[in-house]
A and B are shown apart, each in its own frame.
Chain A
Amino acid sequence: MSFFKVETRNVSLYYGNTAALKNISLGVPENKVVAIIGPSGCGKSTYLRLFNRMNDMIDDVRVEGEVLLNGKNIYADGVRVEEVRKRVGMVFQKPNPFPKSIFENVAYGLRINGVTNKRYIEETVERALRQAALWDEVKDNLKKSALALSGGQQQRLCIARALAVEPSVVLMDEPSSALDPISNAKIEELIWELKKKYTILIVTHNMQQAARVSDWTAFFYLGELIEYAETKDLFTNPRNEKTQNYITGRFG
């Protein structure tokens, strides 16, 4: 068993012979937001993608160690990728709604999981849109194409789509870096709200965002976890000099 909702134990990941992640042990408690920061190429996105086995799609990738979701190793023999992804929602940097209606975008996960009960789908779509703070803006236009929404609305739609299947964990990879400041603020408020129900891992280049939204922050550098601490401690008194140099903008 694991005390954490998600956890990695001594995880290393190799692209061929190159180690992209080196012996990472890190746990995320339930209903907490963990931010992962670090310079480009430090392995933070690779780390995030461990949890829904997105790295599996790349050739020549090898994962060592254990990646636990609700205490179970999702890389163990016999674990089906689809089962893992059902329990792990993901939101990407660029909003990627399907070219379908707003309603169908959110209902999509339920439908491919074989849910047919119309009333249940409607209720779930409304709940997910409300959780994603989008309901009031779209409730009268649910049949409209998702592509007609603004960038910020599209991103919240993608969050609603991820939430509709009630995942255990939500992964966010730079979820608001392509958005304007108002949409960005909405996403950040949303993350704050969502953690009441979900456990969230967020990768961000924006250190102020990490500071604002997360409970814990992990600093990655060259595939290593340099420091993992409560966000308020990491941003006021980092223990490691590399962390200090990075967050104060004096790197290298």
Chain B
Amino acid sequence: MTHLDSELNRLKAEIEEMGRLVQHQLRKSVQAFVDMRKDLAREVLFQERRINATELKIDRDCENIMALFNPVAIDLRLVFAAFKINSHLERMGDHSKGIASYALDLRQPLPEKLLSQLDLFSAIDQLENMIESNIMAFRDGDSAKARKIFQSDAQLDSWNRKAMQSVIDFFPEHPDLVPELLNVASAVRKLERIGDLNKNIAEEIIFYVEAHVLKHEKEKI
């Protein structure tokens, strides 16, 4: 293994670590929101600092590899992809933090009926799997695995539409819950955004492996 290879592998390991942090943050933030657990929400806010520090570390490592090794071809694309994936993961961390802060704002628990309709945890399972697939696809340079993310995101979009409808249907009967319901709608929207960011990561992985730019293309093939 060349010196550059070992640096690139380290970069991949750091992205993996970043992905795991985001997975934890995501689940915890939704747990805090659903159970109105403020302690958990505060934990998420605290952990966010770790995500930010990891982001800066990865940025710096990308910069160093560029400056010291002048990577070309697939190595260059790997560094570019890592740089952008890092930023997408950090945005996911921000969204998780946002959901955690909605949990802190809750004045009363969310109605059971709404929660069961929303099925937030199935969305979380889906998102966790997407992050996991992306991490593995990036680690193994597996663009076929990355492509599957597009289907998962489509499923998540349809979940999002249903969830939004449930929230809308709840409004008329629960005027007392308006602030909470607005927060629920925002949380659902954030989960949908995290799905989109996973799609962006998949695009970066395909660029890294195949030198094929899918960004802004409607048909992701």
B interface residues (Cβ-Cβ under 8 A, vs A): 2, 4-5, 70-77, 211
Residue A249 lies at the interface, judged by CB distance under 8 Å to chain B: yes
Contact indicator B70/A237 (Cβ below 8 Å)? no
Give the contacts of A205-252 with B (CB-CB under 8 A): 207-208, 211, 235-238, 243-244, 247-250
Contact B73 A244 (CB under 8 A): yes
Taken together as a complex, chains A and B put the C-alpha atoms of A211 and B75 apart, in Å, by 15
Q: Known contacts being A236-B211, A237-B211, is A248 close to B74, with CB within 8 Å?
A: yes
Q: Are A236 and B2 in contact (CB under 8 A)?
A: no
**B74: A residues at CB distance < 8 A:** 244, 248
Interchain CB contact under 8 A, A247 and B73: yes
Give A235 to B76 CA distance when docked, in angstroms: 9
In the complex the two chains form, is B2's CB within 8 Å of A247's CB? no
A84 to B195 CA separation, bound complex (whole angstroms): 65
Would B73 and A248 count as touching, CB distance under 8 A? yes
Q: How far is the CA of A236 from the CA of B213 in the complex (A)?
A: 13
- By DSSP majority rule, is chain B's interface helix, strand, loop, or mixed? helix
Contact B72 A207 (CB under 8 A): yes
Fill in one digit per residue for A117-151: 1 if any B CB lies within 8 Å of its CB, else 0: 00000000000000000000000000000000000
B75 to chain A, nearest CB (A): 5
Contact yes or no, B72 A235, CB < 8 A: yes
Nearest chain B CB to A45's CB is how many angstroms away? 23
A248 / chain B contacts, CB cutoff of 8 Å = 4, 71-75
A228 to chain B, nearest CB (A): 16
Q: List 30 A-B contacts (CB under 8 A).
A: A207-B72, A208-B70, A211-B72, A235-B72, A235-B73, A235-B76, A236-B72, A236-B73, A236-B76, A236-B77, A236-B211, A237-B73, A237-B77, A237-B211, A238-B73, A243-B73, A244-B73, A244-B74, A247-B72, A247-B73, A248-B4, A248-B71, A248-B72, A248-B73, A248-B74, A248-B75, A249-B2, A249-B4, A250-B2, A250-B5
> What is the minimal beta-carbon distance from A245 to any residue of chain B, in angstroms?
9
Nearest-CB distance from B93 to chain A (Å)? 30
Residue of B nearest to A250 (CB): B2
CB neighbours (8 Å) of A250 from chain B are 2, 5
Having A211-B72, A236-B73, one finds 14 other A-B pairs with CB under 8 Å, namely A207-B72, A235-B73, A236-B72, A236-B76, A236-B77, A237-B73, A237-B77, A238-B73, A244-B74, A247-B73, A248-B71, A248-B72, A249-B2, A249-B4
Shortest B205–chain A CB gap in Å is: 15
CB contacts (< 8 Å) of A238 on chain B: these are 73
Q: Which of B2, B70, B73, B74 has the most CB of A within 10 A?
A: B73
- Say how far B126's CB is from chain A's closest CB, in angstroms: 33
The residues of A that contact B2 with a CB separation of less than 8 Å are: 249-250
Q: Which residues of chain B come closer than 8 Å to A249, judged between CB atoms?
A: 2, 4
